[in-house]
Amino acid sequence: NGKGAWKKRTEVPAEWEVIYKDSKLLSKLTNFKHNGIFPEQAPNWSWSVEQISKMQEPQVLNLFGYTGAASVIAAKAGAHVTHVDSSKASITWCKENAVRSGLSEDAIRLINEDARSFAKREARRGASYNGIILDPPAFGRGSKDEVWKIEEDLLPLMGTLAELLSLQPGSFFLLN
């Protein structure tokens, strides 16, 4: 039926490396018609790096972090990154991208959890981040099968994230 399958006109390698500045990112065809990288996000990556470069000890939260391109790039720029995604496969992929890019094992804090649950817990703990990167799907499921619908869930999440964003000059919030 072709649903969920790639139609290849020429043979494509099982995986390949994409280099963005000093980051090395794994790309491969998935069964849901993605390749693990959204290159149209490059201007956002550059902007984030610019913001991070103005801070001392920046703490960045990347929710719905997927395969970690934004997390790796932020960590390479000197940020302490917390990467959250409900998919174990995405967490593993992010970890591999970090290793490929020469980051230490502890450069990115990897959290396999529903983004809303994590954000609420961080707000209760009084956590604070200088930068928040948010690239939510229109629809998705959390690590415990929680349903995410952007039209219902984005605004409540934004309220929680307002509690997490530092008021320090230079702090940033990036929503895709």
Is residue 94 a contact partner of residue 105, using CB atoms and an 8 Å limit?
no
pLDDT given at position 2: 55
Is residue 17 a contact partner of residue 102, using CB atoms and an 8 Å limit?
no
What global pTM score does this model have? 0.92
pLDDT given at position 14: 86
CA angle 80, 161, 73 (to 5 degrees): 30
Place of tokens 């496969």: 89
Burial classification of residue 155, based on how many CB atoms lie within 10 Å of its CB (0-12 exposed, 13-18 middle, 19 or more buried) = exposed
DSSP calls for the chain? --TT----SS---S-EEEEETTEEEEE---TTS--S--GGGHHHHHHHHHHHHTSSS-EEEEET-TT-HHHHHHHHTT-EEEEEES-HHHHHHHHHHHHHTT--TTSEEEEES-HHHHHHHHHHHT--BSEEEE---SEEE-TT--EEEHHHHHHHHHHHHHHHB--STT-EEEE-
Average pLDDT along the chain, 176 residues, taken 10 residues at a time: 71 91 94 87 97 96 98 98 96 98 96 96 98 95 89 97 95 96
pLDDT given at position 90: 96
